[in-house]
């Protein structure tokens, strides 16, 4: 399955991130001896790849494992199992020092622009920290790089001696982006970079990320739950449900012709600004709750809430297969 998905991209030499069978299980401790009694299967067998220079959107409802997947790819969380390759290098087998050196090539923009900046540091110190850690110049050269990075993200270099609390949410997120850019990485995980911002500021930050991608040749994994945001910035989209990828396709193809019932339900919830079209649309209301990641259902994870579910769905886990050119779905009855 994973080999089939990766084959075409790997032949053309365009794959930057290659993820196969990724699992992240968090232990649950209990009892007098504090032994492991169960596991939260936050990520339970994710297969995906990100092509060089593209933006892959990773979407799904809260708790489906999106952010954990992003952090596991960057090795901020050590995977329980699976393979993660950055430009052909297996990250999961690197020791601590080798992983640290790879951090220069992969960075993260965090969701919370308030909690992700050290309040004791000036923004100049915040952006300079990775440059100092990797010996990217003397004091004067680093200061010049910090000033250049602030200009790149649309902030005045004279602000570098101010502290984070003196800036708005949108400005703080720009500071976080500048910090992520400092080491000139090739790959950035943007973990819901605009969800904590005012709607009026969201478009500005998204446009900035797009401009930076063109100017610096960046590759993004954009984690989000807002499907409109994902459609705006993503070349391809992966839809997650309960720790697994349910569907993976080009952005336009997925939005126009979703194959997985869960994707269809998500897209039906997006409001349409035309009242007449909105009245004609068929809304798909999912019944029941998301199953617990501690004890996911057998077979397809989505089967307890799926209106198409049959016996095979409750017994056999559907593989992520190519149902049409470059359009993959993990469903026994797609379409």
Quick check: is 149 in a domain?
Answer: yes
Asked whether residue 232 is assigned to any structural domain, the reply reads yes
332, two tokens = 């026994």
User: What is d(CA 55, CA 52) in angstroms, rounded to the nearest whole number?
Assistant: 9
CA-based radius of gyration for the chain = 21
pLDDT digits (tens, 9 = 90+) for 186-202: 999 999 888 878 888 88
In a domain, 311, yes or no: yes
Q: What does pTM read for this prediction?
A: 0.90
Q: Is the pLDDT of residue 15 over 80?
A: yes
* Residues of the domain holding 144: 2-329
> Per DSSP, what are the bridge partners of residue 224?
59
Which of helix, strand or coil describes residue 167?
Answer: coil
- 257 φ, ψ (degrees, to nearest 5): -135, 65
| pLDDT tens, residue by residue, 253-276 | 999 999 999 999 988 887 777 677
**Token pair for 295:** 């004890």
Beta pairing partners, 119 = none
Task: Report the percentage of the chain scoring pLDDT > 90.
Answer: 73
**Domain assignment of residue 334, yes or no:** no
Give rounded-to-5 percent helix, strand, coil for the chain: 40, 25, 35
Distance CA 264, CA 283 (A): 9
pLDDT band at 16 (very low <50, low <70, confident <90, very high): very high
CB neighbourhood size of 264 (10 A): 18
Using left for φ > 0, alpha for ψ between -120 and 50, and beta otherwise, residue 320 falls in beta
Structural domain contains residue 152? yes
- Within a domain: 250: yes
CATH (domain of 242): 3.40.50.300
- Total domains, the chain: 1
| 335: in domain | no
pLDDT mean over 25-40: 89
Per-residue confidence (pLDDT) for residue 283, from 0 to 100: 80
Does residue 13 sit in helix, strand or coil?
coil
Structural contact between residues 212 and 107, judged by C-beta atoms closer than 8 angstroms: no
Mean pLDDT, range 95-106, rounded to an integer:
93
- Please give the Cα distance from 211 to 146 (Å, whole number): 19
Q: What is the pLDDT of residues 155-175, one digit of tens each?
A: 999 999 999 999 999 999 999
User: Judging by DSSP bridges, how do beta strands 219-224 and 187-191 pair with one another?
Assistant: parallel
In a domain, 57, yes or no: yes
Q: In what order do the strands lie in the sheet with 236-241?
A: 106-109, 187-191, 219-224, 55-59, 236-241, 244-250, 327-329, 321-324
Does residue 242 come out as left (phi exceeding 0), alpha (psi in the -120 to 50 range) or beta? left
């Amino acid at each position: 399955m994973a080999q089939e998905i990766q084959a075409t991209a790997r032949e053309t030499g365009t794959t930057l991130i290659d993820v196969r069978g990724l699992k992240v299980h968090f232990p649950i401790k209990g009892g007098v001896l504090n032994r492991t009694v169960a596991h939260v299967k936050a990520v339970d067998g994710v297969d995906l790849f990100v092509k060089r220079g593209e933006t892959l959107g990773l979407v799904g409802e809260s708790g489906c494992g999106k952010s954990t997947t992003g952090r596991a790819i960057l090795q901020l969380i050590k995977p329980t199992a699976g393979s993660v390759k950055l430009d052909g290098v297996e990250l999961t087998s690197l020791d601590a020092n080798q992983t640290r050196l790879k951090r220069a090539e992969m960075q993260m923009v965090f969701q919370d622009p308030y909690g992700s900046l050290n309040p004791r540091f000036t923004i100049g110190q915040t952006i300079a920290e990775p440059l100092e850690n990797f010996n990217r110049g003397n004091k004067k050269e680093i200061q010049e790089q910090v000033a250049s990075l602030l200009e790149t993200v649309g902030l005045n270099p004279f602000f570098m001696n101010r502290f984070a609390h003196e800036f708005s949410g949108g400005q703080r997120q720009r500071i976080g982006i500048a910090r992520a850019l400092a080491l000139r990485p090739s790959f950035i995980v943007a973990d819901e970079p605009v969800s904590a911002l005012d709607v009026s500021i969201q478009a500005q930050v998204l446009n900035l990320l797009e401009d930076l991608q063109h100017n610096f040749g960046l590759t993004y994994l954009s984690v989000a739950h807002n499907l409109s945001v994902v459609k705006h910035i993503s070349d391809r989209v992966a839809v997650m449900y309960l720790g697994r990828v349910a569907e993976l396709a080009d952005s336009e193809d997925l939005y126009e012709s979703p194959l997985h019932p869960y994707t269809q339900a998500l897209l039906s919830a997006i409001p349409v600004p035309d009242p007449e079209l909105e009245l004609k649309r068929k809304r798909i209301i999912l019944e029941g709750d998301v199953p617990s990641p501690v004890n996911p259902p057998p077979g397809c994870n989505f089967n307890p809430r799926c209106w198409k579910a049959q016996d095979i769905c409750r017994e056999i886990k559907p593989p992520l297969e190519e149902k049409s050119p470059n359009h993959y779905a993990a469903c026994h009855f797609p379409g």
